[in-house]
Chain A
């Protein structure tokens, strides 16, 4: 075993990074605070938030956005949705996808085609309930990627498979191993990885008691952490707070969830 180490210089990486598109969230304000015009490829992005703050909606929106044709600067690719918690709702995805395709067709002056069967084929769905199924899937992932033109992997949610049957120490070890493998794949094939995570309560922390689950060590692992929140007042805006990023400063962007999916607040 003697792997060849590819040592890049920063110029090469700069060229690579600037030539890659990102996956837009359909909220320009949110894209702007991310600093990369959307979810970047080759990175792990973590969506945090209490239930009902729009984590799954955001994932569905991204699964549709990855299909944007190349003519509009998109990836014209497919998405893999790993559902660990029965959060996926097909009808809702169809709604978001139709709206997304319609927008693209209008922009390209193409005839309106309401038949989305071809587009639906570009979503690959796996339900991985329980730790064993999840681990087995992660093991199969390289093969799945090889067979399809997948440029987005969504895991909704990362915390769920680890809720029982594993000690906290083993959990950390396993998670870091899986994430290393996943990111190696993501960097190699230029795939965006989006994970959702729940919030948990830790009493007595100086920085506030509600924090992302899976502990402090996990907080270091993802490249981008985005906290979503829903307003108490129904007229207020939903907010996305960028907690961590290596390219952009901490910032807040308002967004709304409409019938068509994630959109800007006017």
Chain B
């Protein structure tokens, strides 16, 4: 709730606000709910002045009206995608990680989510002025690994140092802290220059802490977090990449059992973070590990993953590409 003091209207002097507070009217909402005549008697302002304040509030808080042409010119001049430096994934995503939206990267444990995250960090800061903020919720960030990926790309020591300097890491352990951080990013008391993308690895680690509680605190936090995310995306022109996890559960196929055949089990995969989150990300990249007999062009320690875009704001869906994860990084 916005306090009346935040309005900064010439007629709302300190003494007027004090009188209103004395009558339990402290927020903008309470002010609007009150009868105008009653307010006039309380504050000793005339009716016109009260209505003027009201109109002022309405103009200040209503969303501005824009036309299509304005939106078009805006989208034409703005950067729409962050190039992630992996050609096949760029194509599937229609250009890269979208700016101004929340993107989700989802997969089972050990499918290479964090590795892909590391690679995106490296690709985005190399050869650009971009800065990346990596929010680490389980101590998974490893600077030595990042340096090795850079080394494998053939960077000189100087290039490596410059790239490492543009990667910012913050360790967050609770949802409260995450929201506090986003608040500070919003009001710019924490300022990061040339910020292009925020990567959160991983969101469920924070949200699961509220799992099984009877109250809905976790959901409240999630909602606040999503709102801050959207504000930052739109107003600071950045992309937000959340790493989410998948869990599996097994269903027994009862019909087959009755027919006297062997029991069959159906494995279902489930994106975590609950129903509310399912529709929040604009783009969802699902990665699964492939079991190939003969990996192609991989070092003996690597594996292939299939990255599928299962949700996107472009029309083409379910496009996929095959990536390679090994000691050199993700390609």
Nearest Cβ in chain A — how far from B170, in angstroms?
5
Does any Cβ of A come within 8 Å of B161's Cβ? Answer: yes
Known: A13-B169, A204-B266, A219-B110. A170 touches B212 (CB 8 A): yes
The answer to whether A13 and B141 have CB atoms under 8 Å apart is yes
Contact partners of A225 in chain B: CB under 8 A: 110
Does any Cβ of B come within 8 Å of A32's Cβ? Answer: no
Known: A8-B169, A14-B144, A244-B109. A216 touches B209 (CB 8 A): no
Chain A CB within 10 Å, residue with most, of B142, B167, B202, B327: B142
Does any Cβ of B come within 8 Å of A121's Cβ? Answer: no
Name the interface size band of chain B.
35 or more
Known: A9-B167, A171-B212, A249-B302. A202 touches B250 (CB 8 A): yes
Does any Cβ of A come within 8 Å of B78's Cβ? Answer: no
Known: A10-B164, A251-B301. A5 touches B190 (CB 8 A): yes
CB-based nearest A residue for B177? A3
The answer to whether B142 and A247 have CB atoms under 8 Å apart is yes
CB-based nearest A residue for B211? A173
Contact partners of B140 in chain A: CB under 8 A: 223, 246
For the complex, what is the distance from the CA of A244 to the CA of B303, rounded to whole Å? 13
A-contact bits for B267-301, CB 8 A (1 contact / 0 none): 10000100000000000000000000000000001
For the complex, what is the distance from the CA of A215 to the CA of B108, rounded to whole Å? 12
For the complex, what is the distance from the CA of A172 to the CA of B206, rounded to whole Å? 11
Nearest Cβ in chain A — how far from B189, in angstroms?
10
Residues of B contacting A: mostly: mixed
CB-based nearest B residue for A2? B180
Q: Report the interface size for chain A: residues with CB under 8 A from the other chain.
A: 54
Contact partners of B166 in chain A: CB under 8 A: 9
Contact partners of A179 in chain B: CB under 8 A: 138
Known: A7-B169, A11-B165, A251-B301. A173 touches B208 (CB 8 A): yes
CB-based nearest B residue for A167? B212
Nearest Cβ in chain B — how far from A46, in angstroms?
11
Nearest Cβ in chain B — how far from A64, in angstroms?
25
Nearest Cβ in chain B — how far from A164, in angstroms?
15
The answer to whether B168 and A177 have CB atoms under 8 Å apart is no
Contact partners of A204 in chain B: CB under 8 A: 250, 252, 265-267
The answer to whether A221 and B248 have CB atoms under 8 Å apart is no
Known: A9-B169, A180-B209, A205-B267. A221 touches B164 (CB 8 A): no
Nearest Cβ in chain B — how far from A21, in angstroms?
14
For the complex, what is the distance from the CA of A225 to the CA of B327, rounded to whole Å? 18
The answer to whether B168 and A220 have CB atoms under 8 Å apart is no
For the complex, what is the distance from the CA of A223 to the CA of B201, rounded to whole Å? 12
The answer to whether A184 and B173 have CB atoms under 8 Å apart is yes
Does any Cβ of A come within 8 Å of B145's Cβ? Answer: yes
B-contact bits for A165-199, CB 8 A (1 contact / 0 none): 00101111110110111011011000000000000
Nearest Cβ in chain B — how far from A70, in angstroms?
22
The answer to whether B247 and A217 have CB atoms under 8 Å apart is yes
The answer to whether B141 and A216 have CB atoms under 8 Å apart is no
B-contact bits for A151-173, CB 8 A (1 contact / 0 none): 00000000000000001011111
Does any Cβ of A come within 8 Å of B115's Cβ? Answer: yes
For the complex, what is the distance from the CA of A247 to the CA of B145, rounded to whole Å? 6
Chain A CB within 10 Å, residue with most, of B110, B174, B210: B110
Nearest Cβ in chain B — how far from A179, in angstroms?
8
Known: A11-B164, A183-B173. A205 touches B250 (CB 8 A): yes
A-contact bits for B108-135, CB 8 A (1 contact / 0 none): 1110001100100000000000000100
For the complex, what is the distance from the CA of A237 to the CA of B157, rounded to whole Å? 42
A-B contact list, 21 entries, CB within 8 Å: A1-B180, A7-B190, A8-B168, A10-B146, A10-B163, A11-B161, A11-B165, A171-B212, A173-B208, A173-B212, A181-B173, A183-B138, A183-B173, A187-B139, A187-B171, A217-B247, A244-B109, A246-B114, A247-B144, A249-B326, A250-B301
Given contacts A5-B190, A216-B109, 9 further A-B contacts (CB under 8 A): A13-B169, A44-B138, A183-B139, A183-B173, A204-B265, A216-B246, A220-B138, A223-B138, A246-B118
Tell me the B residues contacting A by CB distance below 8 Å.
108-110, 114-115, 118, 133, 137-147, 161, 163-174, 176-177, 180-181, 184, 190, 192, 202, 204-206, 208-213, 245-248, 250, 252, 265-267, 272, 301-303, 326-327
Tell me the A residues contacting B by CB distance below 8 Å.
1-3, 5-11, 13-14, 16-18, 42-44, 167, 169-174, 176-177, 179-181, 183-184, 186-187, 202-206, 215-217, 219-221, 223, 225, 243-244, 246-247, 249-251
- Nearest 8 A/B pairs, CB to CB: A204-B265, A249-B301, A170-B212, A169-B212, A219-B109, A14-B143, A173-B211, A216-B247
